[in-house]
Chains A and B, each alone.
Chain A
Amino acid sequence: MAIARFWRETPRRYNLGGSRCTVCTTVYFPPRSVCPTCTTHRQSLGKMEPFQLSGDGEVVTFTVVHEAANGFEMLVPYALAIVQTVEGPLLTGQVVNLRPEDLQIGLKVRATFRKLREEGPAGVIHYGYKFAPKEEAAMAPRPGRGSEQAPAASHAPEPSRARA
């Protein structure tokens, strides 16, 4: 049942709650109860501790989705990226707050909190992490007003948006 499954995953989805091996300091997301990095798994038994990722990372690779997954119809085209977190684990997530065509490998991102999915108009709303360009990159002032198009606009120039 979806509500229970999602609810159990909230520490992960909301706060990037992973785990860290106190023997070799490797960080895992999602959390693990034993450390596969240590020479024998038994070495790390009982030595894993909860660890919260900072949410900072860098885009390793990405794809632009044009055929929306269920619940993402309003967002196409959207970018889905694999992010190398500063703590180590690789995370997959949508990158928001930029046009997909502006996304580049190596872009510094931070975790942001967004709506992931709604179970219909009467159902539960699921929240969790997505990624957004890190402030410094996003802070560069836009050159003039209206210089960017709508994020969901097609790649072809739209005559209606040519107005100053």
Chain B
Amino acid sequence: MEAGIVSYGVYVPRYRITPAEIGQVWGVDGVAMGQGLNIERKSVPAPDEDTITISTEALRVALLRGKIDPQEIGALYVGSESHPYAVKPTATIVAHAVGATPNLTAADFEFACKAGTAAIQTCLGLVRSGMVKYGVAIGTDTSQGAPGDALEYSASAGGAALVIGRDKVIATINQTVSYTTDTPDFWRREGQRYPSHGGRFTGEPAYFRHVGECAKQMFKTAGTTTKDYQHVVFHQPNGKFPRRIGTQLGFSDEQMKYGMVTPRIGNTYSAAALIGLANVLDHGEAGERILVVGYGSGAGSDAFDLTVTEELGTYDRSSGLPVQYFLDSGVELSYSVYAKFRGKIHMGEA
């Protein structure tokens, strides 16, 4: 049974900070750091924003655009590595906030940066089997790097919600494949505030191997080559990795153009590939084919082969904010206000 994306919505908090601003605090050439990572700025959530509020904002836009009755959502999954509660699902609060409760199944997914794509696969299975009419897959994060760590220059906040269904599909999901191994490139132990990573180890054996192998697996499964796709979207922990893997696989800058959002908003982790896909759909036209390859540390990649349908022509893309708005707009913060917003200042006993 054919199924795919019926609607989508994105939300990125409005605050931004530049690598130069971060670097000057730590005695590092932040400008060079930003150029090396291909990150001009990253988004910062307000003190009253978290994975739950960002997910809700993104999903509300998706429901509005698709004119979807929230009571028809049969499954709702939120993929994130920054759920506000260690125990108490993000998904239940989001489901209630959009009016989807109580007759649905809901859960939180975790798989570093690919929990959102894992949620899409789960929804696709439920929708294709006819168990639910609509499945909602959300990828959202408000991730942090330790102060002064390389991650601090990229870890940002944002969310994307996809509604998966069978009717009025704007982008059919033709195929999905995954590539998973036990690779300790990035982790955070329970109770630890900031994540740890294997430094250079995060590159070759982790990101590049998984994304590369998963993409090749898709070419084989779908019988495609790079030439069959008008757009390609990779997970983008920075602006450098996706460009390199894209070039290695043989994709052009033109194919990667809309899928690249991290240079302007930073690494939104579980949301990164989904916001890239949303930007492609914002600009997409019927008949175009899209390859999406997510990546999550630990490690795994999920790939999707999609085709934009004629439905996109009548789909209400003008409701809610386009991704381009979040790439262009924003209010820059000083490091001190950023540190306050992100809880990096010790406030004494509460």
What separation, in Å, do the CA atoms of A24 and B69 have in the docked complex? 27
What separation, in Å, do the CA atoms of A123 and B52 have in the docked complex? 16
Determine whether the beta carbon of B85 is less than 8 Å from that of A125.
yes
List of A residues within 8 angstroms of B325 by Cβ: 139
Determine whether the beta carbon of B60 is less than 8 Å from that of A151.
no
What separation, in Å, do the CA atoms of A43 and B60 have in the docked complex? 36
| Given A113-B60, A125-B84: A96 touches B334 (CB 8 Å cut-off) | no
Determine whether the beta carbon of B328 is less than 8 Å from that of A113.
no
Determine whether the beta carbon of A152 is less than 8 Å from that of B337.
yes
A112 interface residue (CB < 8 Å to B)? yes
Nearest A-chain residue to B13, judged by Cβ: A97
Kindly provide the distance from the CB of B52 to the nearest chain A CB, expressed in whole angstroms. 6
B53 interface residue (CB < 8 Å to A)? yes
Interface of A is mostly: mixed
Kindly provide the distance from the CB of A8 to the nearest chain B CB, expressed in whole angstroms. 13
Nearest B-chain residue to A149, judged by Cβ: B331
Contact of A15 among B15, B46, B85, B99 (CB under 8 A): B99
| Given A74-B340, A139-B321, A150-B334: A113 touches B53 (CB 8 Å cut-off) | yes
Contact of A115 among B48, B330, B331 (CB under 8 A): B48
A133-164 vs B, Cβ < 8 Å mask (1 yes, 0 no) = 00100110110011011111100000011000
Determine whether the beta carbon of A145 is less than 8 Å from that of B53.
no
Contact of B47 among A52, A74, A135, A139 (CB under 8 A): A74
B350 interface residue (CB < 8 Å to A)? yes
Kindly provide the distance from the CB of B9 to the nearest chain A CB, expressed in whole angstroms. 12
Kindly provide the distance from the CB of B83 to the nearest chain A CB, expressed in whole angstroms. 11
B56 interface residue (CB < 8 Å to A)? yes
**Total A-B residue pairs with C-beta atoms closer than 8 Å?**
78
Contact of A148 among B48, B52, B96, B331 (CB under 8 A): B331
B126 interface residue (CB < 8 Å to A)? no
List of B residues within 8 angstroms of A10 by Cβ: 96
List of B residues within 8 angstroms of A142 by Cβ: 328-331
What separation, in Å, do the CA atoms of A152 and B336 have in the docked complex? 11
What separation, in Å, do the CA atoms of A148 and B328 have in the docked complex? 14
Determine whether the beta carbon of B49 is less than 8 Å from that of A115.
yes
Determine whether the beta carbon of A127 is less than 8 Å from that of B333.
no
List of A residues within 8 angstroms of B46 by Cβ: 75, 96-97, 114
Determine whether the beta carbon of B329 is less than 8 Å from that of A75.
no
How many B residues touch the partner, as a band? 20 to 34
B68-93 vs A, Cβ < 8 Å mask (1 yes, 0 no) = 00000000000000001100000001
Kindly provide the distance from the CB of A136 to the nearest chain B CB, expressed in whole angstroms. 10
Determine whether the beta carbon of A120 is less than 8 Å from that of B48.
no
B332 interface residue (CB < 8 Å to A)? yes
List of B residues within 8 angstroms of A145 by Cβ: 332
Determine whether the beta carbon of A113 is less than 8 Å from that of B334.
no
What separation, in Å, do the CA atoms of A91 and B343 have in the docked complex? 30
Kindly provide the distance from the CB of B65 to the nearest chain A CB, expressed in whole angstroms. 13
| Given A14-B96, A15-B97: A150 touches B53 (CB 8 Å cut-off) | no
What separation, in Å, do the CA atoms of A113 and B330 have in the docked complex? 19
List of B residues within 8 angstroms of A116 by Cβ: 48
Nearest B-chain residue to A125, judged by Cβ: B84
| Given A52-B99, A113-B56, A115-B53: A153 touches B337 (CB 8 Å cut-off) | yes
| Given A10-B96, A15-B99, A139-B325: A114 touches B332 (CB 8 Å cut-off) | no
Determine whether the beta carbon of B331 is less than 8 Å from that of A150.
yes
A108 interface residue (CB < 8 Å to B)? no
Determine whether the beta carbon of B350 is less than 8 Å from that of A146.
no
A130 interface residue (CB < 8 Å to B)? yes
Kindly provide the distance from the CB of B307 to the nearest chain A CB, expressed in whole angstroms. 30
Kindly provide the distance from the CB of B199 to the nearest chain A CB, expressed in whole angstroms. 31
Determine whether the beta carbon of B331 is less than 8 Å from that of A130.
no
List of B residues within 8 angstroms of A148 by Cβ: 331-332
Determine whether the beta carbon of B47 is less than 8 Å from that of A75.
yes
Determine whether the beta carbon of A161 is less than 8 Å from that of B334.
yes
B341 interface residue (CB < 8 Å to A)? yes
List of A residues within 8 angstroms of B50 by Cβ: 115, 125
Beyond A148-B332, A149-B331, 10 extra complex contacts between A and B, CB < 8 Å:
A15-B96, A15-B97, A74-B341, A96-B46, A115-B47, A141-B328, A142-B329, A142-B331, A148-B331, A150-B332
Q: Which residues of B contact A (CB under 8 A)?
A: 14-15, 46-50, 52-53, 56-57, 60, 84-85, 93, 96-97, 99, 320-321, 325, 328-334, 337, 340-341, 350
Q: Which residues of A contact B (CB under 8 A)?
A: 10, 14-15, 52, 74-75, 96-97, 112-116, 120-121, 125, 127, 130, 135, 138-139, 141-142, 145-146, 148-153, 160-161
A-B CB contact pairs (8 Å), 7 listed: A15-B97, A74-B48, A113-B53, A139-B329, A141-B328, A142-B331, A152-B340
